Amino acid sequence: MESCLFCKIIAGEIPSSKVYEDDNVLAFLDIRPVNIGHTLVIPKNHHINLYETQDEDLSRMIAVIKKLSIAIRNALNADGINIEMNNDPVAGQIIFHTHIHIIPRFKGDGFTHWHGARGYNEGEADEVIQKIKTRL
């Protein structure tokens, strides 16, 4: 895709701080990291998001994510790792090329999630399960 930022990074048209690269996957440091070591993992094939990404590309990505997560945690003495993916603008996706974030976490780093979590009302969980199952 000519206008895709990540495709330009893959093509070498835009510089990046590469952490890992093979024939199918590229990983590089996020330029606006949540924490130092925040890494993006992308397939070299262009896909807009999770919904459109080929299973083969996702499988390759997850194997790299596991390897990098261990290396990042150990190299930075991180207390944990978050693996995150944003799909669609409402979920925070701003670059429309499949990518997964590896975010090293440190005690007291101030990064929070799960705000506003709620439970299910009576019968609501069963209704949601049925809706999902009809779409599988």
Residue of 103, 110, 66, 68 lying closest to 84 (CA atoms): 103
Catalytic residues: 99
User: What is the average per-residue pLDDT within 7-31?
Assistant: 97
Domains by residue range for the chain, with CATH? 5-135 (3.30.428.10)
pTM for the model stands at 0.92
- pLDDT of 23 reads 97
Position 10, amino acid: I
Q: Average pLDDT of 20-46? A: 97
Nearest partner of 84 among 24, 39, 20, judged by Cα: 39
Indicate if the pLDDT at residue 2 is higher than 80: no
CA 69/CA 83 separation, integer angstroms: 9
d(CA 98, CA 50): 6
80-98 pLDDT, tens per residue?
999 999 999 999 999 999 9
pLDDT confidence of residue 98 = 98
Is the confidence at residue 111, as pLDDT, over 90? no
Residue tagged 């924490």 (tokens) = 35
Given a cut of 90, is residue 112 above it in pLDDT?
no
Query: If you average pLDDT over every residue of the chain, what do you get?
Result: 95
The type of residue at 90 is V
Instruction: Say what the pLDDT of residue 114 is.
Output: 72
pLDDT attached to residue 1: 64
- Cα angle 126, 128, 129 (rounded to 5 degrees) comes to 65
